Amino acid sequence: MAVRAVRGAVQLERDEAGHMDEQVGALLTAVLERNSLSADDLISIWFTATPDLHSDFPAAAARKLGIVDVPLICAQELDIAGAMPRVVRILAHVESDRPRADISHVYLGAAAALRKDIAQ
């Protein structure tokens, strides 16, 4: 079993805790499903949020999905002029037998524009 990194992002429509839970939950669910993973395959997840998001910690959505025994951490993205607003990004470390080239990185909605080279 190899350790793999999976990237993903979602742009929120608004800065509200319930909306963040819904959208980050959808992102995490898509990452797991598209890579045939379960919560037991997760090693850790880094969450970042753009500086305009204040309503909640993105990691709270993972806990609400039942991901309770995986190390999670949140950080703030750099405040770069012209960057896409209201974005939550993830970097998940997972155990997987998939080759690196077969890992599906998930960029939902408008966030797909962030990484057209790897968004699936």
CA angle 83, 115, 21 (to 5 degrees): 70
Domain boundaries, the chain: 2-115
Q: Chain-wide mean pLDDT for the chain?
A: 95
pTM: 0.93
Expressed in percent and rounded to 5, the helix, strand and coil fractions of the chain are 30, 30, 40
Which architecture, in CATH terms, is 2-115?
Answer: 2-Layer Sandwich (3.30)
- Annotated binding residue at 100? no
Token pair, residue 30, equals 């898509």
Give the count of alpha carbons within 13 A of 16, CB side only. 5
Question: How does DSSP classify residue 39?
Answer: G
How many Å is the maximal CA-CA distance in the chain? 41
Q: Output the pLDDT for position 1.
A: 85
- Annotated binding residue at 7? yes
pLDDT in tens, 8-61: 999 999 999 999 999 999 999 999 999 999 999 999 999 999 999 999 999 999
CA angle 48, 39, 115 (to 5 degrees): 40
Over pLDDT 70: what percentage of the chain? 96
Q: Output the pLDDT for position 104.
A: 95
